[in-house]
Structure 1
């Protein structure tokens, strides 16, 4: 058969199961967009390439399968960079396919030429600089497989325009290879058996689960072990949804904005079973003061994460699901009545201390949780609203809470919601954003409206960069610099300009009816919620402090300053 490089690219994407791509056409990728016309792939035209990258992330985060975004050379490609870096930090399988100037012009400072491979090699699993059309026959399926296998992450494929137009002849398509075997080696099995013995002999064990638990689809295994041995569970931000919020063993999120009780309980544990976590600084606080009396069992697919930030007592490099399936039969039944009683006392003492100052945010997310069903997917942007959603939202299933954790990208929420809606047309998507974050990719309201997606966008409107302002209040003697807005747009007019229905309650007493109506609305809608600019996120662990020494509530503001 005779096909061009562009046709090979599209055909191989189809053969790998890709049926939606997001992106923007331009001079250097027009042959690929022309080839789409002869395929079954649906092209989602975004209004900015960063939106395309986050739409791909929304598809990938909500399904666990690789998703693809396109961009042309130069500014089109560079606009993808933040989305690629975000995917790398949170281990999200996306493939970014970029056009490039013709090979004869590379290195000449041609129009819209940038060395995209050099720019992205530190923020992706692999970069393919395509030199001939026949390379695409293997590069495309390899990239999809690589993005999904091991620790997931982004892959970049840069294709010069002349290679897209190059015609080659070949006899048949190679077989699409599946992900590699995740079986347990004999040496790993011995470590897992040692870990099981330590868990059984411990008096105060605790499971700490992160994004790896979701990527490896280990929720059922974690629930089984937790119930069998009565092991309480805490999560990182990225682990939310991996263990049902309503489960009595779920103690909530730890870290900088985690529950004080969860941080205190973790400090009291004698054994921490860390599953698919990287012990990031927002989870650990001051690492020198992190759980000094605990023996840590760390299981992770990425060997570089073992002992990187926190030293482990038993470090195990393996697929998490395979590891838990090996451990589960070795775990003994245990009531742990003494440990659970101690935990209950800590929760009563510390949760009341930190929650008594929090009213409107908690009530808001209680309202949202009451209206949504367990299949609803929540996306957030980054800031105060993100932490309130993590603290007070209720999540029953993995992949139901999509947020930018590792690099914390404002502007993530709306395009991620679009991607989730495209990949899950039978589910309701609720995007929670702030008036600061939403304006960073607000143009994607056009994409949401164009495809009539079932997304309810909730804007927490406090006319400021709330998290920045809060930290200036706490740690910079209330010297506010560039954190409050002198002017704010009328989101009602913006939404109406895109043909999107708008709900705009005038005061908090009207929130309940408006939220219920918006979430039950079929199709795209926006709800603009006026919010008091004095609302803050508590607890908050000050930089350099231990997780056991957070600031809780308004009474602590003077003390912090």
Structure 2
């Protein structure tokens, strides 16, 4: 049948099972929005307050559902406002398709009003960037975009469409999307046999879980593997939920703000199985001394990650779920009682700790875990609050922590929470923010209210840029250059002005009742928690130091 380009865009979205898109209209993309109006009973459009909010919402939707997230923007500044969100998704391997429209082909390359080469701009931060100049290429390109976003290591794809291609007519025939097979053809079963030999000889094995295990939905296979190897488990920020945070084998997060138990044990272990982690600097710290006593076995879907940051002894390329399946079918039950007992005793002796006599971020996160029974989806911004959310909320399942790990994007969490709630309407969705991050994209509270998306925003208000101030305190001689935010903003009134419910908490006993009331309200809620300016995240590994040099507040006092 003959359809306009705009009709083809909508039909292709329907082919892919897209039920929600996030975006902001403008002149160049108006034809698509006009067509979207006619299909609003099939595809929900969430109008964000800013295009960056749309890209973060598509990201949060994708991370929490496992589907491809979709965002839209017009040409020029509309398109460039998506860039930070696209880069965030790229760094964390999140499948999104960003659809932008450009000026008509006769105006292309002439510095026309609101013209930008967005495909060129985003080439380094996408798996692929397309520009569609002919309506005949539109359907194949969109189908290819979704396929690329989902295949292998997922990631963002941009499709830029010149305006005349949205109004021109072409033949369209519906296609059923191809099933994306798990990447198994590269799995070297000889390498798996070699890895099993290493594990059989090992007396002190450990398992490090990264974001790849979450993406692969390999939680069941991972749990079976851990029990077979009989090894303690640590994870990265991005790996949260792939292994149950309540499991007795779990010893906490690894890295700059990882637990002492995890950091010291990885430094001591003699075999380390790394499941879907790229050894970022915040995880591995000093890469030369990382797991210096261990044979390192790296399992990853992306061959480019092998030996990129840390030299490993053995690598296995392929879908993590499939690789672990093979391990579990071949590996007999191993026993490491003495090592396991040592690590778990260390875990008991070196717990996470904070000041219990005042209102703190960790106290609020622990209460949030109790009230939600660990069943909420937690989004975060970036900074101290992000680390407290990672340390003190126990993630039981994949896709329940939505956070910017690779790019560290302040202003990410609120948009991402809106996307996660849109994709999971029956789940409690909470975004944990600092006052600095909240000010970045707080206008998306208006989006939550207008679109009736009941997210809960918790702001830890310490009147400073907390994580930067922590570094200034520890490493910059307490020179607090431009990190003080003491500007008397009333966040409760701000929330109410945008139509949300606002609360202010100053005492521990207020936390639980406010959280319960917020969850029961079914409305967008902002909860401001007043905490001290010099609260810090511990433990910590100083930049450039090894994991075995981890320290906490008591060590500083000594």
Q: Secondary structure at the match of 1:60?
A: helix
**Are residue 226 (structure 1) and residue 231 (structure 2) matched?**
no
Match runs of 1:512-531 below 5 Å: 512-531=512-531
- CA–CA distance in structure 2, aligned partners of residues 368 and 326 of structure 1: 38
**Are residue 330 (structure 1) and residue 355 (structure 2) matched?**
no
Contact map agreement 1:417 1:431 (CA 8 A) in 2: yes
Q: Match for residue 450 of structure 1? A: 450
- CA–CA distance in structure 2, aligned partners of residues 80 and 194 of structure 1: 45
Match runs of 1:542-561 below 5 Å: 542-553=542-553, 556=556
Contact map agreement 2:132 2:162 (CA 8 A) in 1: yes
Displacement over 6 Å in runs of 4+: none
TM-score by length of 1: 0.96
Could you give the per-residue CA deviations for residues 279-325 of structure 1, whole angstroms, max 9, x where no partner exists?
A: 00000001111111110110100000011111111111111111111
Contact map agreement 1:199 1:331 (CA 8 A) in 2: no
- CA–CA distance in structure 2, aligned partners of residues 270 and 127 of structure 1: 43
Q: Secondary structure at the match of 1:445?
A: helix
- CA–CA distance in structure 1, aligned partners of residues 491 and 523 of structure 2: 18
Structure 1, unmatched stretches of 5+, are none
Q: Match for residue 190 of structure 1? A: 190
Contact map agreement 1:90 1:404 (CA 8 A) in 2: yes
Contact map agreement 2:64 2:420 (CA 8 A) in 1: yes
Match runs of 1:374-453 below 5 Å: 374-453=374-453
- CA–CA distance in structure 2, aligned partners of residues 115 and 141 of structure 1: 22
**Are residue 502 (structure 1) and residue 502 (structure 2) matched?**
yes
Q: Secondary structure at the match of 1:355?
A: coil
Contact map agreement 2:240 2:395 (CA 8 A) in 1: yes
Q: Secondary structure at the match of 1:299?
A: strand
Deviates more, 1:423-432 or 1:342-351: 342-351
**Are residue 141 (structure 1) and residue 143 (structure 2) matched?**
yes
2:118 to 116, 119, 122: 116
Could you give the per-residue CA deviations for residues 208-233 of structure 1, whole angstroms, max 9, x where no partner exists?
A: 01000010110000001112231211
Q: Match for residue 55 of structure 2? A: 53
Deviates more, 1:62-71 or 1:355-364: 355-364
Q: Match for residue 208 of structure 1? A: 208
The CA RMSD measured in Å over matched residues stands at 1.5
Q: Match for residue 178 of structure 2? A: 177
2:153 to 151, 155, 179: 151
Q: Match for residue 317 of structure 1? A: 317
Could you give the per-residue CA deviations for residues 147-190 of structure 1, whole angstroms, max 9, x where no partner exists?
A: 111001000000011111111235x23442121353345x6111
Could you give the per-residue CA deviations for residues 67-102 of structure 1, whole angstroms, max 9, x where no partner exists?
A: 100000000000000000000000000000001011
- CA–CA distance in structure 2, aligned partners of residues 222 and 285 of structure 1: 25
- CA–CA distance in structure 1, aligned partners of residues 97 and 507 of structure 2: 44
Q: What's the offset of the Cα at 1:347?
A: 2.2
Q: Match for residue 96 of structure 1? A: 98
Q: Match for residue 468 of structure 2? A: 468
- CA–CA distance in structure 2, aligned partners of residues 291 and 394 of structure 1: 25
Could you give the per-residue CA deviations for residues 380-427 of structure 1, whole angstroms, max 9, x where no partner exists?
A: 100100000101111111111110000100111111110010000111
2:82 to 76, 80, 97: 80
Q: Secondary structure at the match of 2:436?
A: coil
Q: Match for residue 284 of structure 2? A: 284
Could you give the per-residue CA deviations for residues 426-479 of structure 1, whole angstroms, max 9, x where no partner exists?
A: 111011111110111111111111122231111111111100111101100000
Contact map agreement 2:261 2:346 (CA 8 A) in 1: yes
Contact map agreement 2:20 2:45 (CA 8 A) in 1: yes
Aligned residues: 554
Contact map agreement 1:358 1:553 (CA 8 A) in 2: no
Contact map agreement 2:377 2:401 (CA 8 A) in 1: yes
- CA–CA distance in structure 2, aligned partners of residues 285 and 229 of structure 1: 26
Q: What's the offset of the Cα at 1:503?
A: 1.7
Q: What's the offset of the Cα at 1:335?
A: 3.3
- CA–CA distance in structure 1, aligned partners of residues 176 and 424 of structure 2: 28
Contact map agreement 1:382 1:408 (CA 8 A) in 2: yes
Q: Secondary structure at the match of 1:239?
A: coil
**Are residue 534 (structure 1) and residue 534 (structure 2) matched?**
yes
CA spacing shift, 1:357–1:371, aligned 2, 3 Å: closer
Q: What's the offset of the Cα at 1:501?
A: 1.2
- CA–CA distance in structure 2, aligned partners of residues 487 and 470 of structure 1: 20
Q: What's the offset of the Cα at 1:548?
A: 1.1
- CA–CA distance in structure 1, aligned partners of residues 373 and 509 of structure 2: 23
- CA–CA distance in structure 2, aligned partners of residues 250 and 488 of structure 1: 42
Q: Match for residue 275 of structure 1? A: 275
Q: What's the offset of the Cα at 1:513?
A: 2.4
Contact map agreement 1:137 1:173 (CA 8 A) in 2: no
Contact map agreement 1:29 1:73 (CA 8 A) in 2: yes
- CA–CA distance in structure 2, aligned partners of residues 519 and 344 of structure 1: 35
CA spacing shift, 1:192–1:304, aligned 2, 3 Å: same
Q: Secondary structure at the match of 2:549?
A: coil
Q: What's the offset of the Cα at 1:192?
A: 1.3
Q: Match for residue 169 of structure 2? A: 167
Q: What's the offset of the Cα at 1:508?
A: 3.3
TM-score by length of 2: 0.97
